[in-house]
Structures are given as C-alpha cells and as structure tokens.
C-alpha cells in the first residue's frame, strides 16, 4: 500500500556524514558482465537499489516465475520462462540483449508504465543482428518474447545516438559473446556519452577490449578475464545532498567512498553545484561538501550528458528563483514518467513555470511564491520524490506522495534525511 511522507526541517543548517549505496548504473552493468563471464567476474558492493536487486535476482534465477501463470493469447507458453522486472527500465534494456544469447525462451515484461516505454529501437537492432524477438501485446513496447541461442547473421548494426544510451550499452555488453562480435555505428549526436564510456571502461576492467573511432565502436569476440569489479557509491544519489546543501543556509557534509575521477557521468554534479556555492573537496576517502554563500550567475545548463540530474538542478534553480535555461532534456519524456510534464505540474505549486520552446526549456520565476505547505505528486518516479525533497529547507511543510518509490535507486533516502535533522512524518 502506498504511503506519503511529510518533510519538515526547522534548522536551515545541515551537517553530517551520509554513506551512499552502490551506483545503480555501475552495478547493473557489472551484474550483466558477471553473468556473461561464466564465473570469472565477481561484483563487490552490490547496490541496494531495487532495480539492481531485481536484475541480480533475475540473473541468478531466484525470481523465476513459470510462464504458465501468464495468459498471453495466441502464444505457446508451456516451456517459457516469464521474467517480470516491474518498473526497472535499465533491467528491461539490458536483459533484452542478454536473453538473446541464453539457451532458453523468455517472455520479458514489466509494470504498466514499463509497457508504455519504447523498446523498438533496441529490438530492431537485435533483429538486424539475427535475434528472434516478438512483441506480445503492442508493437514497439514490452512485453516481448525472446528466443535465445543467437544465430548471428551480421556483426554490423546502426542505432540512433540521441534516444537512449541504454540501448547502446545493452548491445555493447553482449558484443564479446556474439559469435561474430559487433561493429556498432552510432547515428547522429550521442546522448549521455559518459554512460557509454562507463560501459566500455567496465568491460575493459573485465578484459574486453574495444576500438572507438569517430561514430563506430567495434568489439571482437573474446573471453572475459578473472577479476572483481567494485561498485562505487552512487553519484546520482549524491546529487540530492548537493541540492540540500544548495538550499541550506549552512552546510558541511561528508560522502564517503566517492572519488574525483569517477566512471559515473553524474559526478559532474560537483561542477554544476559549484555555481550555487557548493565546494567539493576530495580527501579522507570521500568528498566534503561545504556551502559558501555566493550569487548565481550561470544561466544555461546543458543536461545532455547527465539527464538524471535535470530534475535536481531544475528544482534548485526554481527554489532559488534563478531563471536558468536548460538544454539536453529530450530523453526526459520517456523515463519513468514524462519528467518534463511532471516538473511543470509540480513547479507550478510554487508559482514557477518551466517553459518549453523547441528543445530549450526556461524557468520563469516571476510569479514564484513559497506557500506554507505543498503536496508533491511523484508519478511513480523515484527522482521526482528525491528532487523535490530538498524543498523542505524552503517550504515549511512538504508532503511527498508514495514515499516508497525511492526504493528504485536509494532505499535509505528518508532514513538518511532523518539522521541529518529532517523530520519525515507519516500523515
């Protein structure tokens, strides 16, 4: 049953240490690499995020569900395995590619929202290579039926770079296990390039070499080497503490385990939040954040490389009345929810407009007003809940709908807030 949380914070000062869970992005990649390595690769510090736990269970077959419990008309399901990954979008993309190599037939499905999130670009690319994939309900969307034991017809495939880097990552993760390897041509601009670089770096750690020239990434068939992959704490989760520091009057926070030279693209939050007076000092095996009061001058933020930070940064700007302009938000409309529409709806509650003009978005804070209380709808989106939670430093009482939605990426979020002086109450 869904329950809400009411957040308050009497003091506008934030001090303390927050131990973050392992990166969901790193962990999901590492788990697929581990599964493909036939026991040679081991993953350490597996993330507590629900998405990562779901993927781990599917890959270890702990969550196996017999498909005869499913009812798909016109499909022979007697010997199929049904895999329901719920709202885990990364798991859907990665498993779509992974199951094409396995010696079994699978129906891969998810939540109602997952069935609205497109998968056609990835399915088309896999079919071009030789995979056998059928849509079970609606063309271009999950659920899908996959027949494994890939009979590879081609090692060349083209995929658009501006839709989702997860499609590209899904293909790269399985490339070394394909009989003919893979030559992946990226069409147009590449969105979220750091996530593709993360994938290739983690594959390299596991012994898989690649060649990236211009818009072509090539991976030959090759073996994984014995190694362990340690999952760094989650920079995406760290971004909410940067937002809290930015909206506080004084802040001194320590986030252990985070490194200056991270594989995670969202580590760019250190540079973004420097605009809001947040200094980042890397020492003692982590990062220290400190708030220095300063005027905000930066007017344009390009989120193309780090779209998961968009909600966090937009809410901070809105709360501060900083009329910034944002680009690189194209992928936000196909996430857990339409994040653009969700932001527009919720920012209106403090009188702020997010105005869309083509692919440029501008905050209009001319009618901004801070009420005594707001109710934040979360749209089944973990990042909506966590991006708006820092408003408790500005709005006396913030009620967040469906508090458990944060389990997708940061299950300890409300507990960590409480340790640092926030009061999360059940209404």
Q: In the sheet where 423-425 sits, what is the strand order?
A: 373-376, 397-400, 5-8, 423-425
Among 358, 263, 352, 360, which Cα is nearest to 302's? 360
Instruction: Report the run of H or E that residue 318 belongs to, with start and end.
Output: helix 310-320
* DSSP state at residue 21: P
Phi/psi at 230 (nearest 5 deg)?
A: -90, 130
Asked if residue 42 lies in contact with residue 279, where contact means CB atoms within 8 angstroms, the answer is: no
Instruction: Report the run of H or E that residue 302 belongs to, with start and end.
Output: strand 300-302
Is 402 among the catalytic positions?
A: no
Active-site position among 48, 234, 266, 308: 308
Please tell me the distance from the alpha carbon of residue 19 to that of residue 27, in angstroms, as a whole number: 17
Asked if residue 388 lies in contact with residue 411, where contact means CB atoms within 8 angstroms, the answer is: no
- Residues in the chain, overall count: 427
CB atoms within 10 A of CB 249: 11
Please tell me the distance from the alpha carbon of residue 176 to that of residue 167, in angstroms, as a whole number: 16
The helices-and-strands tally (H runs, E runs) of the chain is 12, 23
Reading the block at residue 344, the tokens are 């527009």
Residue 156 Ramachandran class (φ > 0 left, ψ -120 to 50 alpha, else beta): beta
Q: Which residues are catalytic?
A: 308
């Amino acid at each position: 049953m869904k329950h809400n949380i009411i957040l308050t914070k009497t003091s506008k000062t934030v001090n303390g240490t927050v131990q973050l869970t392992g990166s969901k992005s790193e962990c999901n990649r590492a788990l697929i690499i581990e599964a493909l390595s036939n026991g040679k690769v081991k993953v350490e510090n597996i993330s507590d995020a629900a998405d990562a736990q779901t993927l781990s269970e599917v890959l270890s077959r702990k969550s196996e569900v017999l498909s005869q419990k499913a009812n798909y008309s016109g499909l022979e399901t007697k010997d199929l395995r049904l895999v329901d990954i719920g709202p885990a979008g990364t798991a859907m993309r990665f498993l779509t590619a992974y199951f094409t190599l396995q010696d079994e037939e699978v129906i891969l499905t998810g939540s109602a929202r997952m069935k609205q999130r497109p998968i056609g670009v990835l399915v088309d690319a896999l079919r071009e290579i030789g995979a056998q994939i059928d849509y079970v309900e609606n063309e271009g969307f999950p659920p899908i039926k996959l027949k494994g034991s890939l009979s590879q017809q081609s090692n060349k495939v083209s995929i658009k770079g501006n839709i989702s880097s997860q499609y590209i990552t899904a293909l790269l993760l399985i490339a070394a296990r394909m009989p003919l390897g893979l030559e992946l041509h990226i069409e147009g601009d590449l969105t979220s390039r750091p996530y593709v670089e993360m994938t290739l770096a983690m594959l390299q750690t596991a012994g898989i070499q690649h060649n990236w020239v211009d818009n072509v990434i090539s991976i030959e068939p090759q073996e994984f080497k014995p190694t362990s992959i340690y999952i760094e704490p989650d920079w995406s989760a760290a971004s909410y503490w940067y937002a809290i520091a930015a909206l506080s009057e004084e802040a001194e926070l320590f986030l252990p385990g985070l490194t200056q030279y991270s594989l995670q693209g969202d580590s760019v939050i250190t540079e973004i939040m420097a605009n809001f007076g947040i200094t980042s000092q890397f020492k003692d095996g982590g990062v220290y954040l400190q708030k220095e009061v300063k005027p905000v001058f930066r007017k344009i933020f390009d989120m193309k490389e780090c779209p998961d930070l968009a909600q966090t940064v937009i809410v901070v700007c809105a709360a501060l009345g900083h009329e910034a302009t944002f680009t690189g938000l194209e992928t936000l409309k196909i996430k857990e929810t339409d994040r653009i529409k969700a932001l527009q709806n919720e920012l209106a509650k403090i009188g702020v407009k997010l105005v869309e003009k083509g692919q440029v978005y501008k905050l209009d804070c001319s009618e901004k007003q801070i009420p005594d209380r707001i109710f934040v709808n979360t749209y089944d989106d973990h990042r909506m809940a966590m991006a708006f939670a820092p408003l408790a430093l500005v709005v006396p009482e913030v009620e967040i709908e469906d508090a458990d939605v944060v389990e997708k990426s940061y299950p300890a979020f409300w507990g960590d807030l409480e340790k640092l002086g926030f009061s999360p109450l059940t209404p």
